[in-house]
Chain A
């Protein structure tokens, strides 16, 4: 009896939705389908049509094509602005049109990934479930500056700071980086004087030692920097990551006292965790970052900071007894 199973799934979706709303106050919509791509669309439709009450099991639809025809192709998972423009150019505007598109044409124009999306829309699962998170392949730390920056010294402080964050993340994950990249760029939104540069280095042996990474990052930042531009953003990227303990010894690199360095990093991490972030830091980070991201518009950290908890007032029960009595008589 496939229908009863389907009905149960919708019920289950409502249960999830009610629980999340009750526990966290966050409204969510639930989409259920045979493939991830369709499930995402179902969740989107559930949000869009109020009569569904936030839950849609795609399998229960009597006429799924009408729904697919009402949805813009840009709503499909994996189809961003560029792909949407390209598809629109081919006359494909709705999800239904994409679902019915010619397989060979799609494969030719969008490769096998595009084809997978079409097959998923037809109900053939191509993107498997991932019950275990895929291993981390890169660590990026990237922020815009609070204002445009022209000085190399500011860029270097920012890059050193991002590198410190990146190294901390690598240590938390127990990973060592073999490749490290620094990029800096000007604003995309200014028509003139645009500039962007990236410099990379191969690390041998792989490391998550903040000092080593900062040392390399400073050289990369200097190499990427060209005077005369107003920089908006810097980014550091650690790639070619290997878990600690799986690294092969290097034939050519000078031996380092890894154990001692490892202890130093552990001590730094535990001090910073106990006291406050950056209680202990490298001098390259600077003392007064003038480049730092503006934080005056940050929303209050209601659930992560003791000093920023939501406040409540005590209800005043000092109203006089007569009001109270009359109220109770009325009730």
Chain B
């Protein structure tokens, strides 16, 4: 019995930055706060990796400024606009997509 020698096989260590961030200049971290919402895939305490250089699409998880606060939500395509599900145009103020969430980092 002998041990395999891993020395030659290891070329470099794995870098999470490299894995999670594609455009460092446009990437921001944000923390989710508030109460746990049933059925949400985002939990309080989650760390969001937000890329501002990506364009949001139908179904994207985004950070958006709604009525002056930043909120994280999925947007859907409605008549050429990306809006939260159940969004009532005209009556609910303005929504401004801040960036696209590319990764969720959650402590377990």
What residues make up the interface of A, taking CB atoms closer than 8 Å to B?
19, 22-25, 302-303, 309-319, 323-324, 327, 330-331
Contacts and interface: CB of A to CB of B under 8 A. Distances in A.
Nearest to A316: B37
Given A22-B26, A319-B86, A327-B87, A312 B52 contact: no
A317 B25 contact: no
Contact of B31 (A310, A315, A324, A330): A310
Nearest to B35: A314
Given A22-B53, A23-B52, A331-B78, A311 B25 contact: no
Interface string B66-90: 1001111100001100001111110
A313 B30 contact: no
10 contacts: A24-B25, A302-B28, A303-B28, A309-B30, A310-B28, A313-B71, A314-B40, A324-B86, A327-B87, A331-B89
B85 A312 contact: no
A327 B86 contact: yes
B44 interface: yes
A314 B86 CA distance: 15
Contact of A23 (B25, B31, B63, B72): B25
Contacts, number: 83
A327 B53 CA distance: 31
B26 A24 contact: yes
Contact of A309 (B29, B37, B86): B29
A314 B73 CA distance: 6
B23 interface: yes
Nearest to A310: B30
A312 B31 contact: yes
Contact of B72 (A309, A313, A318, A330): A313
Nearest to A317: B85
A281 B49 CA distance: 35
A315 B89 CA distance: 16
B73 A311 contact: no
Given A25-B52, A323-B86, A331-B89, A313 B32 contact: yes
B34 interface: yes
A328 to B, nearest CB: 8
Nearest to B53: A23
B71 A314 contact: yes
B87 A310 contact: no
A314 B72 CA distance: 5
Nearest to B43: A314
Contacts of A23: 23, 25-26, 52-53
Contacts of B63: 312
B26 A314 contact: no
A311 B31 contact: yes
Contacts of B66: 315
